[in-house]
């Protein structure tokens, strides 16, 4: 394989390996990365080329750790895991400014949502006329949760200082 992969360049496993190679030269080649991961170079090529139907979870965990790429685990959970498939998890790590602005913007309207939730919860049940407001509260909370997860993903990547 050459220094610049072409077919695998858009694959998240390949992108994360190439990004990690800035900090560990052994990751510049599939052979070097495969040795560190305990898989064959052809197996790693299959992951990076997308020819493996489902990358084994233990390999994803090892890649995420070796590459300092926690987004690989989120990608796996969202796209390959039958339980997490379709969940709204961040798969790319943004810059701090972007993540912070998204998180802060998610809190806009929190006072209104708080008041609606208190009103709905006051009698201990959700009535039919409250169901639309309750759905709005859930949607708001899902949005906040996604932004919090993105911020946590960014923070997790910072722990090693290799960003």
Whole domain around residue 60: which residue ranges?
Answer: 12-79
| Alpha-helical segments (H) within 38-130 | 41-49, 57-66, 71-79, 96-106, 110-121
Is the same domain home to 19 and 69?
yes
- Which whole-number Å values give the CA distances from 57 to 6, 73, 138, in the listed order? 25, 8, 30
Number of domains the chain contains: 2
In a domain, 27, yes or no: yes
Is the same domain home to 131 and 74?
no
User: Phi and psi at residue 130, in whole multiples of 5°?
Assistant: -95, -5
Which residue, of 79, 108, 129, is where some domain finishes?
Answer: 79
pLDDT tens digits for range 3-62 = 555 676 788 999 999 999 999 999 999 999 999 999 999 999 999 998 988 899 999 999
Is the same domain home to 55 and 24?
yes
Which residue, of 54, 79, 104, is where some domain finishes?
Answer: 79
Question: What whole-number distance in Å separates Cα of residue 32 and Cα of residue 21?
Answer: 10
Global pTM reads 0.61
In a domain, 7, yes or no: no
């Amino acid at each position: 394989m050459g220094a610049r992969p072409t077919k695998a360049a858009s694959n998240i496993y390949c992108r994360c390996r190439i990004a990690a190679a800035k900090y560990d030269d052994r990751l510049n080649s599939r052979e070097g990365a495969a040795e560190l991961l305990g898989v064959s170079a052809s197996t790693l090529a299959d992951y990076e080329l997308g020819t493996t139907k489902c990358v084994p979870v233990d390999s994803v965990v090892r890649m995420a750790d070796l590459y300092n790429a926690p987004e690989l685990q989120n990608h796996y959970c969202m796209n390959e895991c039958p339980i997490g498939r379709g969940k709204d998890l961040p798969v790319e790590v943004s810059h701090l400014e972007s993540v912070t602005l998204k998180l802060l913007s998610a809190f806009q309207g929190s006072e209104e949502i708080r008041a609606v939730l208190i009103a709905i919860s006051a009698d201990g049940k959700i009535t039919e006329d409250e169901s639309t407001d309750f759905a709005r509260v859930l949607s708001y909370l899902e949005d906040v949760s996604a932004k919090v997860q993105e911020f946590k993903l960014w923070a997790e990547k910072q722990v090693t200082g290799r960003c």
